[in-house]
Amino acid sequence: MREDEKPHAEDKFCGISRLKVFLLALSLAFVGKTMSGAYMNSMYTQIEKQFNIPASLVGIINGSFEIGNLLLIAFVSYFGGRLHRPKIIALGCTVLSFGCLLISLPHFLIGRYHIESSISPLENSSVMPLCFVNQSSFSLPTEEPSTECVKESGSLLWIFVMVGNIVRGMGETPIMPLGISYLEDFAKTENSPFYQGCLHTATIIGPFVGFLLASFCAKLFVDVGSVDPGDVAITATDTRWVGAWWLGILICAALNLLAGVPFWFLPKSLVKEGEINEPEETCKKRIVLLQENEKKEAKETMYEIAKDFIPFLKALFRNPVYMLFICITVLQFSAFNGMISFMPKYLEQQFGKSASDAIFLIGVYNLPVICVGYFFGGLFMKKFKINIYQAAHIAFWVSFLEYLLYFAAYWTVCDTSPVAGLTVSYEGIEQVSYAESTVLAGCNRDCDCTLKSWDPVCGKNGITYVSPCLAGCKASRGTGKSVVFENCTCVAASEFSYQNASAILGQCDRGESCDKMLHYFLILQLVCSFIFSLAAMPGYMVLIRSLKPEEKSFGVGIHELASRVFAGIPSPIYFGALIDTTCLKWGTMTCGGEGACRMYDIVTYRWLYLGLPAILRGVSYFPCALILFILKKKLKSESKTLLNTPIELQNKGQ
């Protein structure tokens, strides 16, 4: 090294440059981990259809991330700060990247996606018989039934997705707590808020990029690159469509791996920022002292590290405000986690949107206003120097206002899509049926149709039929997406009969009124997200100020642990199980097993999807009221004590 480079190298070693490198790397790691999380939450509906699994199982896969997080959170909380934090963060990023790779692995093992259909793609004749033979799935060649049944067992590859999600959760665990503590230890006090602001910005950028990436990937067919798009006979709005869910998670893996590289080259300790201009000898002495302290810390026994655990835990359990706040968090987080997990599916089923459009709209309408709400909520708290009782009042009433507005979502609805035998009779009379036998009628009873396949066609009468065979169609013309089915006896026999009794591929469009309702719903979501985010900072202030200084880090850790165990893991599971109960038509796997749900009773779905969060959040306001009562009582007690204190002692205390 040249002489003129030595001071620069020493400056970097003494803190400031390396701390900024750490901040930049940590911001990238925050973007990577939050981007991966948002992407996965957006793609669970695609994974559900790829592996033909019910929504309850998707909920288990979703919750497995929290399980992975919990496996290491205790170790990271107690011992992470005593080890080489940058290298542990680097290891976490690497493990996170490996988890993403595991999630994408099934795509390369399962083979091509077989679209459930009653039409053989190999038949290109202009007239194709439909209504006199029992049609099987188009992807099942009659000469090799056993081979296809072996391939169907590949649906168990969803286990790789679950294990990958667990590994992803384990990898993410050390990034935030160790990264923030490292910054706090070596940053100037006046610079710390700016650094924290950079990290909060990264946590908004990450999900936003994740949603955009998910929207793009959901537009691409799952077998992009190996299948000609012109050969795919369904569109992105079809419930059988599976987007390229694996592609985006590979991008997330690469980003997380890249984000971890700088941490491998950063030191265990730095000289605190601002001490960079000290003489070189003083700087070296400080580094020696830091190294000696690290050796002393390393010699501490497990007992010495953990001896305060039980007393701290008892103190937290005896803190009524803290315990009530945990109850509130569990109830509120359960509601929001369940809603977010299944919101893409809700927009697909309720408003007839494609997965790509649903994911894009969720990201655009929610994330920016949440960021603005957090900013103004924090600014308001700083400007008016609000105490804990005032913060609790603000959080309660602002949140309660948003809760009342939330019920307007019950009026942002679309009419149920008319599907013969499921939501309407073959005569067009409204009904809802969960029985398979209702898809048979006089117009198709002699067609010998399979009742299990889902291959919807839209008749000229505006009614959707489960398959061309069940629509009574005798012939077809055209190929691919442009196939038209003709001589459809059920279309001709309906109440809205047409001379041209034909049908085209796919479900019938919902119409302009449904698009209008979707915009109302999204605007309502935007307003509610903004109002609720205003209450987030005052609410978090109640948590922090209810704890003593020595209890804060442990108390926040236990709060996070409780929210993951009692809300993060179970809520997607029971939300998914309840959503499964509203299924009207299950898909069919190649060998005849039950697959993913193709169509839901959207009225019951809506009541469950919106109603369960309303109940959970409604119950949460009871402990909120108790917190207000306790804080008010405590404030009065402190006021009386202050009044009874002699003025001389008050002045002395000041």
Whether 320 shows a pLDDT value over 60: the answer reads yes
Whether 550 shows a pLDDT value over 60: the answer reads yes
Cα 151 to Cα 360: distance, rounded to the nearest angstrom: 33
Q: Which residues contact 308 (CB under 8 A, 6 or more apart)?
A: none
Q: Which whole number is the average pLDDT over 418-445?
A: 82
The pLDDT tens digits of the residues spanning 337-372 come to: 999 989 999 998 899 888 899 999 998 888 888 888
The region of weakest confidence among 2-16, 110-124, 443-457 is: 2-16
Cβ atoms within 10 Å, residue 151: 17
Q: Which residues contact 268 (CB under 8 A, 6 or more apart)?
A: 84, 85, 86, 87, 294
Q: Which residues contact 496 (CB under 8 A, 6 or more apart)?
A: 428, 461, 462, 463
pLDDT band per the 50, 70, 90 thresholds, residue 234: confident
The pLDDT tens digits of the residues spanning 63-119 come to: 999 898 888 876 776 666 667 889 999 999 999 999 999 999 999 988 888 887 765
Whether 147 shows a pLDDT value over 50: the answer reads no
The pLDDT tens digits of the residues spanning 240-270 come to: 899 999 999 999 999 999 999 999 988 887 7
Q: Which whole number is the average pLDDT over 36-65?
A: 91
Q: Domains plus CATH for the chain? A: 16-123+154-277 (1.20.1250.20), 416-509 (no CATH)
Cα 294 to Cα 292: distance, rounded to the nearest angstrom: 5
Residue of higher predicted confidence among 193 and 62: 62
The region of weakest confidence among 292-306, 333-347, 619-633 is: 292-306
Whether 521 shows a pLDDT value over 90: the answer reads yes
pTM over 0.95: no
Note the pLDDT of residue 105.
93
DSSP assigned state of 80: G
Cα 454 to Cα 43: distance, rounded to the nearest angstrom: 22
Q: Which whole number is the average pLDDT over 222-231?
A: 82
Using H for helix, E for strand and C for coil, what is the string for 380-420? HHHHHCCCHHHHHHHHHHHHHHHHHHHHHHHHCCCCCCCEE
pLDDT band per the 50, 70, 90 thresholds, residue 401: very high
Cα 8 to Cα 439: distance, rounded to the nearest angstrom: 78
Q: What is the chain's alpha carbon radius of gyration, rounded to the nearest angstrom?
A: 29
Cα 40 to Cα 46: distance, rounded to the nearest angstrom: 10
pLDDT band per the 50, 70, 90 thresholds, residue 442: confident
The region of weakest confidence among 112-116, 139-143, 488-492 is: 139-143
Whether 586 shows a pLDDT value over 50: the answer reads yes
Note the pLDDT of residue 304.
56
Q: Which whole number is the average pLDDT over 280-293?
A: 55
Q: Which whole number is the average pLDDT over 469-474?
A: 87
Q: Which whole number is the average pLDDT over 293-322?
A: 68
pLDDT band per the 50, 70, 90 thresholds, residue 174: confident
DSSP assigned state of 566: I
Whether 546 shows a pLDDT value over 80: the answer reads yes
Note the pLDDT of residue 10.
40
Cα 265 to Cα 20: distance, rounded to the nearest angstrom: 13
Residues paired with residue 490 on neighbouring β-strands, in sequence order: none
Q: How far apart are the first and last CA of the chain?
A: 56
pLDDT band per the 50, 70, 90 thresholds, residue 537: confident
Cα 403 to Cα 529: distance, rounded to the nearest angstrom: 11
Note the pLDDT of residue 549.
73
Note the pLDDT of residue 653.
47
CA 552 vs. chain centroid, Å, equals 28
Cα 309 to Cα 558: distance, rounded to the nearest angstrom: 11
Note the pLDDT of residue 506.
86
Of 575, 19, 47, 510, which is closest to residue 276 (Cα–Cα)? 19
Q: What percent of the chain has pLDDT over 90?
A: 32
Supply the angle between the helices 388-406 and 512-545 in degrees, to the nearest 10: 160
Note the pLDDT of residue 643.
66
Which residue reads 């997330």 in tokens? 252
Whether 607 shows a pLDDT value over 50: the answer reads yes
Q: For the purposes of burial, counting CB atoms within 10 Å of the CB of 567, is it exposed (0-12), middle (13-18) or buried (19 or more)?
A: buried
pLDDT band per the 50, 70, 90 thresholds, residue 3: very low
Whether 155 shows a pLDDT value over 70: the answer reads no
Do 187 and 87 meet the contact criterion of CB atoms below 8 Å apart?
Answer: no
Cα 318 to Cα 546: distance, rounded to the nearest angstrom: 12
Note the pLDDT of residue 148.
47
